[in-house]
Amino acid sequence: MKKTVAIYPGSFDPPTNGHLDLIERGSKIFDQLVVAILRNAEKAPLFSLSERVLMLESMTASFKNVRVDTFDGLTVDYAAKIKAGAVLRGIRAISDYEYELQMALMNRKLQPDLETVFMMPAEQYSYLSSRLVREVAQLGGSVKDLVPEMVEQRLREKLDPAIKLQSAREPKARKRG
């Protein structure tokens, strides 16, 4: 029987609960889902590629048909390389539609056999984006419920290196408190 492999490409800087919601939905309709993080040398990401891989691997560990990978170059070339038949993308609001439509149609022009499948995340994530999470966290706001706890902790460590130093020195004391 033919198995459908899909890729879920993105920057994931950082991965959010909206991404996780979409991964869960995608894992139910595809035989295999590959979360593909773009290695983009042009942007200066907050989290390194390996940090994003680790976060996504930990977030998706319970989904047996999901794996995490990285890619550069064209999405369509990466999809062909791993024999994926579909690209999964999330659409949160009408404002996403224009950009996503452009990308889907360009990908179709480049590779007519590759289908783009759009899914809607749960309503509570409809305003959520990695960019807003970075901004809120950088300005000291709470991102609780918007990203997994482990990502929240990593954001805290990233934005205040003193926290990382402290938790490395006093792991037991912090756990008890």
**CA 145/CA 142 separation, integer angstroms:** 9
> Least distance from C-beta 10 to ligand PNS, angstroms?
3
Which one of 6-14, 45-53, 62-70, 164-172 is the stretch in contact with ligand PNS (CB under 6 A)? 6-14
> Least distance from C-beta 45 to ligand PNS, angstroms?
10
Nearer to ligand PNS, 42 or 140 (CB): 42
Query: Token match 């007519």: residue?
Result: 112
Is residue 92 part of the annotated active site? The answer reads yes
Binding residue (CB under 6 A) for ligand PNS from 6, 7, 10, 52: 10
Is residue 130 part of the annotated active site? The answer reads yes
* Region 93-152 residues binding ligand PNS, contact defined as CB under 6 A: 103, 106-107
Which one of 3-11, 25-33, 114-122, 162-170 is the stretch in contact with ligand PNS (CB under 6 A)? 3-11
Cis peptide bond prior to 121, omega within 30° of 0: no
> Least distance from C-beta 175 to ligand PNS, angstroms?
34
Catalytic entry in 43, 144, 172, 176: 43
Specify the DSSP element, H or E, that contains 15.
none
Specify the DSSP element, H or E, that contains 18.
helix 17-29
**CA 61/CA 150 separation, integer angstroms:** 13
* Region 22-81 residues binding ligand PNS, contact defined as CB under 6 A: 38, 74-75
Q: In what order do the strands lie in the sheet with 5-10?
A: 66-71, 32-38, 5-10, 86-90, 115-119
52 neighbors 14 (Cβ within 8 angstroms): yes
Question: Phi and psi dihedrals of 113, rounded to 5?
Answer: -85, -10
Catalytic residues, by residue number, are: 19, 43, 92, 130
* Residues of the shown chain interacting with ligand PNS in the complex, contacts defined by CB under 6 A: 9-11, 38, 74-75, 103, 106-107
